[in-house]
């Protein structure tokens, strides 16, 4: 019942707790673990008492002729001592947890001794972890910005060197637009094929239907996409020069 009351009391303290929601969840998990440990100890105690009673019933002897010696470190005494120590430890942890919940409800800083007893990180540790997270996020943001800049530089270089602007439309599909295209909609679409995606397959578009001779010669006969793109570039360039 005390553990249930602690769980219900910990709810309103979340808004005033200086730590994160994950740390409050860790505290609740700690209380649940203590409750399970307490139940286990109670079961062990009942089992031990039953075993002791059974041993007593089986000990049929003549007290006038038989002297019974009790060892100071027999298994039963060791088990009882362990149960007492575990019980005292649980009581201490429950006490610290109750004090911690009261401190959380008050909304003030949590004393260092309660933080250590509850297994929670100190305020300095939490602040340091937050600082490290913010630093890592800032580094990731800078890397993303540098990566985007490099991508733009690479695309511009490809456009200037090959004469084609390459855009990824969907996964595994690439749209190529020549700098000499007569219309903005004139483009080619290639789809990655094969186990490693190294093979490219030309998909039919309105623009590809206007160059059947180049497709027949360079793709179907010669099986060379670079030759096809180069021939197409020369063909579009010659059209603009003649015009």
Residue with tokens 């997270």: 133
Residue 5 has a pLDDT of 66
Q: Would you kindly state where each structural domain of the chain is located, as residue ranges?
A: 2-58+76-121, 123-162, 163-242
How much is the pLDDT for 222? 93
For the stretch 121-144, what's the b/e string if a residue is b when 16 or more beta carbons lie within 10 angstroms of its beta carbon?
eeeeebeeeeeeeeeeeeeeeeee
Q: How confident is the model at residue 177 (pLDDT cuts 50, 70, 90)?
A: very high
pTM: 0.45
Residues β-bridged to residue 46: none
Task: Give the mean model confidence (pLDDT) for residues 207-229.
Answer: 94
Average pLDDT over residues 148-165: 90
Half-sphere exposure of 8 (CA within 13 A, CB side): 5
Q: 163-242 — its CATH code? A: 3.30.457.60
29-59 pLDDT per residue, tens: 787 787 788 778 778 777 777 777 776 565 5
pLDDT band at 165; cut points 50, 70, 90: very high
Pick the residue with more confidence: 187 or 129? 187
What was the pLDDT predicted at 16? 46
Give residue 224's pLDDT: 94
Which residue, chain included where needed, has tokens 């530089």?
153
Confidence category of residue 107, pLDDT binned at 50, 70, 90: low
What's the mean pLDDT when you consider all of the chain?
Answer: 77
Average pLDDT in the 181-209 region?
Answer: 88
């Amino acid at each position: 019942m005390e553990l249930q009351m602690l769980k219900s009391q910990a709810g309103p303290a979340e808004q005033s707790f200086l730590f994160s929601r994950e740390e409050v969840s860790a505290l609740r998990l700690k209380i649940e673990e203590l409750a399970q440990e307490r139940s286990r100890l109670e079961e062990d105690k009942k089992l031990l008492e039953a075993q002791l009673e059974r041993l007593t019933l089986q000990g049929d002897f003549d007290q006038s002729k038989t002297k019974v010696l009790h060892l100071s470190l027999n298994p039963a005494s060791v088990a009882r001592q362990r149960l007492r120590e575990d019980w005292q430890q649980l009581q201490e942890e429950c006490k610290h947890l109750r004090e911690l919940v009261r401190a959380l409800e008050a909304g003030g800083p949590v004393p260092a001794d309660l933080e250590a007893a509850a297994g929670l990180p100190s305020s300095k540790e939490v602040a340091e972890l937050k600082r490290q997270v913010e630093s890592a996020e800032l580094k990731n943001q800078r890397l993303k910005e540098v990566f985007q800049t490099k991508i733009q530089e690479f695309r511009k270089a490809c456009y200037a060197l090959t004469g084609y602007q390459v855009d990824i439309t969907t996964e595994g599909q690439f749209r190529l637009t020549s700098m000499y295209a007569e219309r903005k909609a004139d483009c080619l679409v290639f789809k990655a094929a094969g186990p490693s995606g190294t093979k490219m397959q030309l998909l039919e578009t309105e623009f590809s239907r206007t160059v059947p001779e180049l497709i027949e010669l360079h793709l179907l006969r010669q099986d060379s996409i670079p030759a096809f793109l180069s021939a197409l570039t020369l063909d579009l360039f010659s059209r603009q020069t003649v015009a």
